[in-house]
A = this chain, B = another copy of it.
Amino acid sequence: MKEIKENKHLKTRFSKLKRDTLIYLAGFIDGDGSLLAQIVHRKDYKHEFQIRISVCFYQHKKRAWFLRWVGKQLGYGTLSKRQSSTWVWTIVEDNAVKDLILEILPFLRMKRKLGHLILNIIDSKKRVETKADLLKVMKLVDETANHTDSKNRVWTSLAAENYWDTGEKPISSRSSKKSANSNSL
């Protein structure tokens, strides 16, 4: 792992955060957070797919206060229930995710490469016009799986391509409600 290099001139919506807080959050994300890129099937989207990018902080419901502290520091995101006993603080807006990753990137150790990849996905998303463009972004999303322990991928670039060709959906290994291709580390 290369030495940490910081860009002192970086200006993002999170630049007001203390350096200590950014380092702490990087450690927490490396341990128990997620940098997520997901292919989500949505009829109302152009080419019927959304590339959903998010940063998630998970915690047992009895420590939801910690997620509220994270949210207060960030000033962005929402608190929601994930499972019966797990709550999650999520940031989904692309530019907010980009800003946060830019700030914590120098302090991440395990998820730094994944962070770079997700920044690449966010930038590539903005230039999508054709199905071919979207497919390229989907392939980058596929790549994030190499950096994660994800086991429940449903929508991949291949599945999406097949869907465009044949109208067939992949068989979900989980609940049929789940259509997200969740790549969390």
Tell me the A residues contacting B by CB distance below 8 Å: 1, 4, 20, 23-33, 59-60, 63, 66, 69, 107, 109-110, 149
Contact = CB atoms under 8 A, between A and B. Distances in A.
Contacts of A31: 27-33
A23 B30 CA distance: 13
A66 B109 contact: yes
A138 to B, nearest CB: 24
Closest 5 CB pairs of A and B: A27-B27, A31-B31, A31-B32, A24-B27, A27-B28
A60 B148 CA distance: 10
A63 B105 CA distance: 18
27 contacts: A4-B20, A20-B23, A20-B107, A23-B23, A23-B24, A23-B27, A24-B24, A24-B26, A26-B27, A27-B27, A27-B28, A27-B29, A27-B31, A28-B28, A28-B31, A29-B31, A30-B31, A30-B32, A30-B66, A31-B31, A31-B32, A31-B33, A60-B149, A63-B110, A66-B109, A66-B110, A69-B109
Contacts of A28: 27-28, 30-31
Contacts of A60: 149
Contacts of A25: 27
Nearest to A32: B31
Contacts of A69: 1, 109
A105 to B, nearest CB: 13
Nearest to A59: B110
Contacts of A59: 110
Contacts of A29: 27, 31
A20 B20 CA distance: 7
